[in-house]
Amino acid sequence: MFLYSEKIYTPQGFVKGYIKIVDGKIHGIYEDTEGKFIDYKDKVIVPGFIDIHIHGWATGSFWYEGTEKSLENMSKELVKIGVTSYLATTGTDALDYIKSHLVSGKAAIDNWKPEKGSQVLGFHLEGPFINKEFKGMQKEEHCINPSIEILEDFFQSGGKENVKLITIAPELEGSLEFIKYVNKEGIQVSVGHSAAEFEDIRDLKDYGLGGFTHTFSGMRGFHHRRLGVAGAAMYFDDMYAEFAKQTGKTVSHEAFKIMFKLKGPEGILLSSDSTGLAHVKEPFHHYIRKCTFRPDGEYVNLVYDEGISERINKYDYEKVKNLELSYLDSVKNIINNVNASIGDIAKIASENPAKYIGVYDKKGSIEVGKDADLLVIDSDWNLQDVFLQGIKQELD
């Protein structure tokens, strides 16, 4: 198959040509072709987004449901917002809860095929090795110190090869040994939900701390004599700062812009940290949205603090997709806020995440030999078409 565009974004810049796709991979970008091709004319082709921090989205929630079906639902919907691969992300819960989710997650990974939508690349374990003091929306009673033994149990459940990223609070006892072990296994470590001091990060980073989870949120903040985790994220050029969906509410657009200026597009990772809010299993109050989500069978009831209520079928994509800002809308917000170029977005949404979790040999850019995970967009970043390993996806 051939796709033609005047503007194909590659790590070397824009090229014009025909992308040849063979067996789901990019075979080459050619100046000329024979036979059939899809003519995207002046539409832009960019690599698909990789969401390394996502618990749920729209009609599925791996965090709340933890079933193979929940990931299948997520995969089906995620392509509609440009996410062509992701890490199924666990939370800080009871160990058995996490393990059973990892078992289901492994099945979803093993049974995935491009026709199912966005690819589950593996797991991001957000805790349970995090600090109660900065638990955010995680559960205090399940915050525990890093443990290699527990991690090995997780490996048993989900497959060692599937664990790509772990968020920990590196000030907790046992962290150094844990970080060394995890680093040796080729697994990335992010600092998050952490009360660490700047000096803790400085002393531990070279053992294998690669970046920061939802930067600024759930971490010790910046002070000019006590820089904290936020200051470390600002200071260390060789560590990535992950930002969850840029609504401007959790992290102000100005704070994001300061970090973007400090680190440049090379140092920012965009994620969503979406949870699939429609699928909560017990009433959940969202302090940013000022709304309580109440489960009710096939429905979720939203009870806003201000008094209004709303009832939504949790499998109705058109309804639930508006419960959390989409990855694509987050991209659009960033473009407006920092005047990001297409290349900047390709870095923060595709290249950097792929490099961070060690899949850049297969994903994250439009290059020969890589998976043909492609977005066709117009000049306003509206999705025209999405390809997953060369398979055109259903967007409606």
Task: State which amino acid sits at residue 75.
Answer: S
Q: Of 273, 329, 344, 373, which is the active-site residue? A: 273
Q: Is residue 83 part of the contact set for a second copy (CB under 8 A)? A: no
214 annotated among ligand-binding-site residues: yes
Please give the Cα distance from 219 to 227 (Å, whole number).
Answer: 11
Q: Is residue 225 part of the contact set for a second copy (CB under 8 A)? A: yes
Please give the Cα distance from 230 to 391 (Å, whole number).
Answer: 41
Q: Least distance from C-beta 64 to a second copy, angstroms?
A: 26
Asked if 128 and 143 count as a contact pair (C-beta separation under 8 A), the reply is yes
Query: Which of 15, 38, 176, 258 is the binder for a second copy (CB under 8 A)?
Result: 258
Tokens (6 digits) for 145 = 């110190």
Q: Is residue 103 part of the contact set for a second copy (CB under 8 A)? A: no
- Residue 57, Cβ neighbours under 10 Å: how many? 35
Q: Least distance from C-beta 337 to a second copy, angstroms?
A: 12
Q: Residues touching a second copy: how many (CB under 8 A)?
A: 23
Q: Is residue 221 part of the contact set for a second copy (CB under 8 A)? A: yes
Q: In sequence order, which residues have a C-beta less than 8 Å from that of residue 92 and are 6 or more positions away?
A: 126, 127, 128, 130, 135, 138, 139, 142, 143, 193
Query: Which of 112, 198, 327, 360 is the binder for a second copy (CB under 8 A)?
Result: 198
> Alpha carbon of 328 to those of 9, 81, 106, 286: distances in Å?
17, 5, 27, 22
Tokens (6 digits) for 163 = 């664990």
Query: Which of 12, 36, 261, 308 is the binder for a second copy (CB under 8 A)?
Result: 261
Q: Which is nearer to a second copy, 254 or 282 (CB)?
A: 254
Stretch in the footprint of a second copy (CB under 8 A) among 117-125, 246-254, 329-337, 351-359: 246-254
Q: Is residue 196 part of the contact set for a second copy (CB under 8 A)? A: no
Please give the Cα distance from 340 to 266 (Å, whole number).
Answer: 12
Q: Is residue 251 part of the contact set for a second copy (CB under 8 A)? A: yes
Stretch in the footprint of a second copy (CB under 8 A) among 17-25, 224-232, 294-302, 338-346: 224-232
Please give the Cα distance from 80 to 48 (Å, whole number).
Answer: 11
Q: Is residue 337 part of the contact set for a second copy (CB under 8 A)? A: no
Q: Is residue 289 part of the contact set for a second copy (CB under 8 A)? A: no
**Active site includes 273?**
yes
Please give the Cα distance from 54 to 164 (Å, whole number).
Answer: 13
Q: Which is nearer to a second copy, 45 or 338 (CB)?
A: 338
Q: Which is nearer to a second copy, 105 or 267 (CB)?
A: 267
Q: In sequence order, which residues have a C-beta less than 8 Å from that of residue 349 and are 6 or more positions away?
A: 49, 50, 270, 327, 331
Query: Which of 49, 216, 293, 327 is the binder for a second copy (CB under 8 A)?
Result: 216
Q: Is residue 287 part of the contact set for a second copy (CB under 8 A)? A: no
Query: Which of 107, 255, 303, 342 is the binder for a second copy (CB under 8 A)?
Result: 255
Stretch in the footprint of a second copy (CB under 8 A) among 17-25, 248-256, 273-281, 339-347: 248-256
Q: Is residue 257 part of the contact set for a second copy (CB under 8 A)? A: yes
Q: Is residue 231 part of the contact set for a second copy (CB under 8 A)? A: yes
Backbone dihedral region of 228: left (phi > 0), alpha (psi from -120 to 50 degrees) or beta? left
Write phi, then psi, for 231 (nearest 5 degrees): -65, -35
Q: Is residue 144 part of the contact set for a second copy (CB under 8 A)? A: no
Q: Is residue 254 part of the contact set for a second copy (CB under 8 A)? A: yes
Query: Which of 34, 184, 224, 380 is the binder for a second copy (CB under 8 A)?
Result: 224
Q: Least distance from C-beta 215 to a second copy, angstroms?
A: 8
Query: Which of 223, 281, 285, 290 is the binder for a second copy (CB under 8 A)?
Result: 223
Q: Least distance from C-beta 221 to a second copy, angstroms?
A: 6
Q: Is residue 136 part of the contact set for a second copy (CB under 8 A)? A: no
Q: Which residues of this protein are in contact with a second copy, per CB under 8 A?
A: 198, 216-217, 221-225, 227, 230-231, 234-235, 249-252, 254-255, 257-258, 261-262
Annotated binding site: 126, 193, 214
The catalytic residue positions are 273
